[in-house]
Each structure stands twice: as C-alpha cells, then as structure tokens.
Structure 1
Amino acid sequence: MPGPADAIPPPARPLPGTGRTAVVTGASSGIGAATAARLAAEGFDVVLGARRLDRLTELADGIGARALPLDVTDPVSVDAFVAELPRVHVLVNNAGGAFDANPVAEADLDSWARTYEVNVLGTVRLTKALLPALRASGAGDVLFVGSTAGLVSYEGGASYTAAKHGVHTLAETLRLELVGEPVRVIEIAPGMVRTEEFTLNRVRDRERAEAVYRGVREPLVAEDVADCIAWTLTRPHHVNVDLLVVRPRAQAAQHKVAREPE
C-alpha cells in the first residue's frame, strides 16, 4: 500500500532561466517579440528594448517583462538603456533589418548606410556597452540573430548580405577574443522566416512582400526561431552552440525553394 510519502509531489524544478536577466533588442515585433515571450516563459527576467515604446510596453505588460526605449543607432539612447540595467546575464542582439532589394549597380548608398548602422554598428555598440556586465555575471551569453544571408550571398541582396556577413564575422571574432572567459557567444542564422514586417520593410509593397512566400509550404515563423534561441540559452553553460542554421524544410538553400502550384 502507498504510504504518506507517496502522496507528496516532488519539488518543482526551477525554470531554466530563473534568476537570469535577458535583454532582447528589436523586441517590438517579429523574432524579437517572440523571443521575449519565450524567454519570459522560460523564467528569465526579460528586458525589452526597441524604438516603438507603445508596442513594447503592451508586449511587456502581457508577458511580465520590462520595456525600455532603445535605438541601437544612437549612442545616447544606448547609454541611457544600459544605465537602467544593474545586471545582465544574456544579450540577444536581434535589432536589424533589410531596407532594399537593389542590385549593386543601382545601390542606394543611404540604404546601405542605414543597413550597416542598424545591423552591424548598432550591434557592436550595445555589445560593447554590456560586455562588462556580462563578464561580471559569471555566466554571460551574447547571442546574435544573424541570417543565412550572412553565410551565402544572393542577387538583389547585397546591402543586407554584406551587413549580415559582418554580423557573422563579429560573432566569430568575439568568440575568439573571449575564449577562457565565462561568456558564451552564440549565432542563430535563420533562412526564410515569415514575419509581419521584415519583407514589407524591404520592398515597401505588400504584393511583392507576399510573393516572396507564395507557394512555400510552411515557411518558418518567429516562434520557430525563438524556440531555437531559447534552446541554446538554456543549455548547461559549458555547452556553446557556436552557429545554428535553421531553415524551413521547403528551403534547401538561398536559391533552392520548393513552391507548390497555386
């Protein structure tokens, strides 16, 4: 017969992120918003950063997180953001984007400058500012949301592929420079991800944006990438996932996508 001890449930195991503070940039939509929600569910104390504070605050209220205004392209904004953080264990560098689909011969240099400023310089700016806190945590994580565009180039994508190649190189270099220190450096490189804004911001035409995904059975969604991010951040801290490439099954390469007839 079962005794009294058998009726006592085992103690609840703490969530993987319990006690750790995670900063997520570009968190007002898409992969950033999905990542913030997932990390909050994993027990992290999540701090959201983005320019659109109204959207950010709504998300933060819904998931029990903290929202702070952040423009990674503005040094004053970055300094103010960092000053509000007494401790940080995880930095998810997600802020970025593509802003044109022009061939090199028709390059819009203002768009190139904006793409570099957001994806590369902004990422460096915030990473540099938070590295002291990540080191001091004793178990820090710097995660870069890159792209398969940072590994393989394609026509019409030069400004974005060049910037994401920069992010990939940044992650590789930082990992070399921090070896032996208690900070992991992780890169997630998604392929085709269907979100509400990424492609629309790039081509600025809803019909053209929809055509990118037309006929593709189950492209990735933001939650798929957030799942990968959460998995890498919740591994034992001696396990470093250097680079995780994730694509939908329908995409074998940048140029090889299975499309079903409509």
Structure 2
Amino acid sequence: MAAAFLSNPTLSSSFHDRRLLIRSNPKRSTPCCFGLRSPRCALDTPYEGSISKFPRINVWDPYKRLGIGTDADEEEVWSARNFLLSQYAGQERSAESIEAAFEKLLMTSFRNRKRTKINLKTKLKKKVEESPSWVKNLLSFVEVPPPVIILRRLFLFGFMACWSVMNSAEAGPAFQVALSLGACIFFIHDKNKSLPRAAILGFASLVVGWICGSFLVPLIPSFLLQPTWTLELLTSLVAFVFLFLGCTFLK
C-alpha cells in the first residue's frame, strides 16, 4: 500500500502540498480527536491555588466582615479597611465587599453624629424654655454667627490688642480703643440696621469691659507683668475682649 502511495504521483504531490500549507500557516493546527482542544502553552492554563480569596466576602454584618468589634471607633474602621485592601489587592470582588462594609459603617457613624447633634439642640432648647423669664430675655439679645465671622473679628481685635502692647512704651492705647469702638458700632449696625442701638450697645460693651478690667487687673500678680504695662493698657485689653463679644454675639 505504501508502495502504491509512493508510486502514485498525484497522491504524493497532494500530501506534499498539504504539509507545505500547514507549515506556512502556524495559526492552523491539526484537529484533535473527539473535538477537544488542548492548551497551546502551559502558561495559558489558569492556576487558582495561589490566589487567596477574601473569606468573609458574603458576611452580612459589616463589623464581622472587616474583622472588628462593634465598639470600634472610626480610626479602627479605617485601619481595618486599609489593611484588608492591601491584603486582597487586585481582587475586584473582595475589594468591593470590603469597601461596601466600610461605607456602611461610615454612614452609620455619620447618622449617629447627626442624631447626637439634634439631641443636644433639643436638650438645649428645653433648658432655655424651662429657664426663668429674665434668662429668656437675655438670650433673646444673643445670636451665634458663622465661624468665619467669629474668626475675622477675633483677628481684628487681637490685632488691636497686640498693637497696643507693642506701642505701650511710646503712647497709651487711646487710639486703638477708639478704633475698636468704631469697629464694634459698625458691626452691630450692619446686623440690626439701627445706628442708635448700635452706638448704645458699642458704648455699653466698652464701659462694661473697662469696669471689669479696673477690678480684675489689680488682682494680677506684679511679677507676671512687664514694667511698661500700665493699668490703662491692661484695662484696655479687657475692654477689647468685651468689644469683641459685643459686636459678635449681640443682636
């Protein structure tokens, strides 16, 4: 049979052409029996044994999923989240499970903080309502501005106080006190749009501050004071505090 195959030039040339065609087309492979396809290379076969999966990926409780106690604070939650993400880096499902538990705990902490603030406001409101009438009347003249306004005015009157201390050896703080009084009247007028009321509150803040300073300054031990710090200077520093309080928190 082999002799017949070799003796037949047509079959021999056809077989030779088929071998050349297979060699010239490397992407084409010889079909395997039973229709099974074997891997082209050993690197193509996945090896899942070396990849460790997050064992608590389906745990419902976010505390147990992150491996922390229910009394853990926010810093411990962040630490557990960062540690687990570094351990299971590159695994999308594990990272999503860790981040979902972390976000759930973060939202719970935010709600608890908001609830605590609401409870504090409610308790404070109840205390004000239960307080005597003169306390209610006094609190009706007080308001708390935004933190930015408080910091700006604190900086202004702090600058006036520092200027007075630095200039204490040359002159008294009369000019700085006058500027502070003018600023106090301007800020109060900007709130209530009433110049007479603003002037009365501004002068009242200055007078109360000066009187309190006159009683408090002599109680300060002399070894804590500089030789150039006069009674007038120290009293004006107390007056700056009252002017700041008056223009910031009075209506």
TM superposition score category, shorter chain reference: under 0.3
Structure of higher RCO (CA pairs closer than 8 Å, 6+ residues apart): 1
Tell me the TM-score normalised to structure 2 length: 0.18
| Structure with the higher fraction of residues in strand conformation | 1
